[in-house]
Amino acid sequence: MTADRPETHRWATALLSRSVRGSVRRGLGGVWVRGALPPGGAVLAPNHHSWWDGYVLREVALWAGADFSVLMTAGQLTRFPFLRRLGALRAGEVRAGVRRAKSGWLVVFPEGALQPAGPLRGAAPGAGWTARAAGVPLVPVALRVTLRGAQWPEAHVRFGPPVSAADLPAAIQHELAALDAELLASDPERPLAGYLRAVPGRQSRSARVDLPSRLLTFITGDRA
């Protein structure tokens, strides 16, 4: 049985990975990305205003071909210990975080915990310290999960250029303000201009019936 354990662990990890991917694709209308993605190791410092944030960033990392890790509070990791198999680390695991950041994307939420949607609510120094210790870029990220003109919420992720630890809070707020302005000025029934769809999602019922509806209109001549 001992010899089979590594294979069992791989099977369990693969199953969890598919479950997370399925959750994103069934629960969201898609994930869109804008900005230069880090080509190697990096610390990503996003706002944390949605339950979906960790799942969304993991799917973006996989889409980009990057290894993914995320720091979580001890309480959250105790509630969901299986997330360790998907790259989660306890916030106090400093050395492990530095190692992960050197070889892939390490997500550190500067706000420390889930916050109400809106502007950035404070920024702890952990993300900047980890990036400096690992010798990798510190990347501000804005993330919004919003219900626009479709049936399902959509996730938009905006990557800013690398910054210093001192400039991180202002940089995250800058990217958030830019993303919020883009959403406010957009046509809610069209993809957000300048963003690339990284992860497909669940199609709205109206979109699924659009083709049959148009065909029926053509056959019957019932045009408005």
The 3-state secondary structure of the chain reads: CCCCHHHHHHHHHHHHHHHHHHHHHHHCCEEEEECCCCCCCEEEEECCCCCCHHHHHHHHHHHHCCCEEEEECHHHHHHCHHHHHHCEEECCCHHHHHHHHHHCEEECCCCCCCCCCCCCCCCCCHHHHHHHHHCCCEEEEEEEEECCCCCCCEEEEEECCCCCCCCHHHHHHHHHHHHHHHHHHCCCCCCCCCCEEEEECCCCHHHHCHHHHHHHHHHHCCCC
pLDDT band at 19 (very low <50, low <70, confident <90, very high): very high
Q: What gap in Å lies between CA 60 and CA 68, rounded to an integer?
A: 9
Tokens (6 digits) for 96: 């492990």
Q: What percent of the chain has pLDDT over 90?
A: 76
Residue 76's pLDDT band, with cuts at 50, 70 and 90, is confident
What percentage of residues in the chain have a pLDDT greater than 70? 90
Which positions ≥6 away from 125 have C-beta within 8 Å?
Answer: 165
Per-residue pLDDT at 184: 97
State pTM to two decimals: 0.87
The tens digit of pLDDT for each residue in 146-205 reads: 999 999 999 999 999 999 999 999 999 999 999 999 999 999 999 999 999 999 999 887
Q: Is the pLDDT of residue 34 over 60?
A: yes
Residue 208: predicted pLDDT? 55
Residue 12 burial (CB count, 10 A): 12
Task: Give per-residue pLDDT as tens, 105-136.
Answer: 999 999 999 999 999 999 999 999 999 999 99
Mean pLDDT of the residues in the chain: 91
Q: Which residues contact 15 (CB under 8 A, 6 or more apart)?
A: none
User: Over 50: is that where the pLDDT of 2 sits?
Assistant: no
Q: Judge whether residue 39 has pLDDT over 90.
A: yes
Strands 30-34 and 196-200: antiparallel
